Amino acid sequence: MHLRSITALIAMLTVVLAACGGDDADPGETASPSGAATTTAAAALDDCPDDPVGDATRLTVTATDDFRFEPDPLEVAAGEVLIDFDNPSLAQHSFVIEGTDIGVLAEPSADCAELVTLEAGTYTVFCDVVGHREAGMETTLTVS
């Protein structure tokens, strides 16, 4: 292997390992670049409540291994919304709506649901696990 290939591989592994956090952190905590544990905004809410029931509109979102949300962009009707957040990835991911206290945290290979009320508008949605937003895990949510 060439020196550049080895260096690139080491850099990639460093990013992946940093994003995964350590076993000693509590759920909802991730390692910051300095190594200190930081709680994500989504973790401040229920980590993964039971599936809520009701007549809510369902918004199904999937976290991908390449740090994206699918579908992209997101659209949903205003009112009661069941955010069904699926995380088939091997890394922890969150779904946070910027400017609100709405967030869902999903452990690796898990899914969560959160019943929320959304007003009409355009919102930025992102994953607040350290490094994920910077890697491109951000999209737009249009609520009409």
Q: Indicate whether 49 pLDDT > 90.
A: no
- Between 2 and 94, where is the model more confident? 94
Q: Give the pLDDT confidence of 64-80 residue by residue, as tens digits.
A: 988 999 999 999 999 99
pTM value is: 0.65
Mean per-residue pLDDT over the chain, rounded: 75
How much is the pLDDT for 54? Answer: 65
Q: Indicate whether 45 pLDDT > 90.
A: no
Task: Name the token pair of 20.
Answer: 């995964």
Q: Indicate whether 26 pLDDT > 60.
A: no
Q: Indicate whether 92 pLDDT > 50.
A: yes
Q: How far apart are CA 98 and CA 51, in angstroms?
A: 23
3-class DSSP state for residue 6?
A: helix
**Torsion on CA atoms 128, 66, 32, 134, rounded to nearest 10:** -70
